């Protein structure tokens, strides 16, 4: 229960409270009470018991709250700007849309707290425990989270622009839609948990961290990766009626041989996104078959694929009635660009390419 004398003194204002606290620094403070929109800016409440207190909209800016217990407290929309919250306990506290900009939360315990939409820009969270915390849509721009524990934390759509994440533990973190910048530091992120007997594994990118962990611990995902890298064949060409018959025949034959064919239609306008997509597909492919008949766009894409992907053989094919483009002299310098194969019918093409 809250001490009514303490609450009464606190409601008299910050000056009255600080004068009282200077004379009674050794007593135990208990404020488990209704302090909605209380004006406590600059107050010294270090070590106070504010568990389950109602502090909705309260102003605790620049307050001294070292080791203060906010367990289960409601600080929704509270102002804690530049407050000293070193080693404070926010276990299961409600801090949605609270303003903790430039606050000091070094070694604070914020486990399972709700900080959705909170402003933590420029805050210091060195070695803070944020395990299981909800930080979705939170502003952590410029925040220092070095060594923080983000195990199972929800960072969906959070702003980590210019933030420091060096040495964070990110096992099980949700990192969808993060806003990052070139100055966001992400060194030595730990993707393993400390409560299991397994070697410590670190990565340098929080978005990659969740994928790497899934890759290590999910056989189905590994099977998908193995399938992509060993069976995907990228087929390039035009989807005109005449050319599509050839591409469809190639696709069907590859399927019969247990490959995973991917067709790319160049009849539609290309864009930067299209260029990036086809380059990505080529990087995943075991090999590429490019029908260059009537396909100038294919030639442009080969310029992006061939020089940079020496591990991906490219087999160009062309209808026998057409001549090779003059630019092919440029491609012949690359050993993985195979000699152009000429064909007159789809059946003949499949027969002649069979051994290849």
For residues 228 and 191, give the distance between their C-alpha atoms in angstroms, rounded to a whole number.
25
Query: What tens digit of pLDDT does each residue of 55-71 get?
Result: 999 999 999 999 999 99
pLDDT given for residue 115 in this prediction: 98
Kindly report the backbone phi and psi dihedral angles of residue 328, in degrees, each rounded to the nearest multiple of 5, phi listed first: -65, -20
For residues 306 and 226, give the distance between their C-alpha atoms in angstroms, rounded to a whole number.
23
Who's near 229: CB < 8 A, 6+ residues apart? 284, 286
80 vs 200: which has the higher pLDDT: 80
Measured on CA atoms in the order 252, 253, 256, 262, is the torsion positive or negative? negative
Measured on CA atoms in the order 270, 274, 279, 282, is the torsion positive or negative? negative
Least confident residue range of 133-142, 238-247, 340-349: 238-247
For residues 279 and 285, give the distance between their C-alpha atoms in angstroms, rounded to a whole number.
10
Who's near 271: CB < 8 A, 6+ residues apart? none
Domains, the chain: 223-353 (3.40.50.10140)
pLDDT given for residue 302 in this prediction: 86
pLDDT given for residue 269 in this prediction: 47
Assess contact for 161 and 141: CB atoms under 8 A. yes
Query: What tens digit of pLDDT does each residue of 236-249 get?
Result: 887 677 777 888 88
222 vs 101: which has the higher pLDDT: 101
pLDDT given for residue 249 in this prediction: 86
Compute the average pLDDT of residues 95-105.
98
DSSP-derived letter for residue 189 is E
Q: What is the pTM of this model?
A: 0.65
Percentage of the chain exceeding pLDDT 70 = 86
Who's near 344: CB < 8 A, 6+ residues apart? 319, 320, 321
Compute the average pLDDT of residues 94-119.
98
Render the burial of 203-241: b for 16+ CB within 10 Å, e for the rest. beebeebbeebeeeeeeeeeeeeeeeeeebbbbbbbeee
């Amino acid at each position: 229960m809250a001490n009514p004398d303490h609450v009464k003194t606190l409601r008299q204002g910050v000056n009255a409270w600080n004068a009282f606290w200077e004379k009674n620094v050794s007593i135990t403070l208990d404020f488990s009470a209704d302090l909605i929109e209380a004006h406590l800016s600059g107050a010294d409440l270090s070590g106070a018991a504010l568990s389950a207190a109602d502090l909705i909209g309260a102003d605790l800016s620049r307050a001294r709250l070292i080791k203060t217990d906010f367990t289960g407290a409601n600080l929704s929309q509270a102002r804690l700007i530049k407050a000293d919250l070193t080693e404070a306990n926010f276990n299961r506290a409600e801090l949605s849309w609270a303003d903790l900009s430039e606050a000091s939360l070094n070694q604070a315990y914020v486990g399972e707290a709700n900080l959705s939409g909170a402003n933590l820009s420029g805050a210091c969270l060195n070695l803070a425990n944020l395990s299981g915390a909800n930080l979705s849509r939170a502003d952590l721009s410029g925040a220092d989270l070095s060594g923080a524990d983000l195990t199972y934390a929800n960072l969906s759509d959070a702003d980590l622009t210019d933030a420091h994440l060096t040495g964070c533990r990110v096992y099980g973190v949700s990192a969808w839609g993060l806003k990052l910048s070139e100055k966001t530091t992400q060194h030595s992120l730990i993707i393993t948990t400390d409560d299991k007997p397994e070697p410590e594994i670190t990565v340098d990118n929080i978005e990659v961290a969740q994928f790497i962990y899934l890759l290590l611990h999910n056989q189905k995902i590994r099977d998908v990766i193995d399938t992509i890298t060993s069976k995907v064949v990228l087929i390039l060409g035009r989807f005109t009626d005449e050319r599509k018959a050839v591409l469809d025949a190639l696709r069907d034959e590859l399927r019969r041989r247990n490959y995973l064919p991917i067709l790319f239609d160049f009849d539609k306008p290309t864009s930067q996104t299209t260029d990036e997509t086809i380059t990505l597909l080529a990087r995943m492919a075991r090999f590429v078959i490019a029908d260059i008949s009537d396909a100038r766009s294919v030639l442009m894409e080969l310029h992006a694929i061939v020089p940079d992907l020496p591990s991906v053989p490219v087999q160009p094919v062309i209808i026998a009635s057409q001549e090779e483009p003059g630019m092919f002299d440029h491609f012949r310098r690359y050993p993985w660009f195979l000699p152009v194969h000429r064909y007159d019918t789809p059946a003949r093409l499949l027969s002649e390419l069979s051994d290849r």
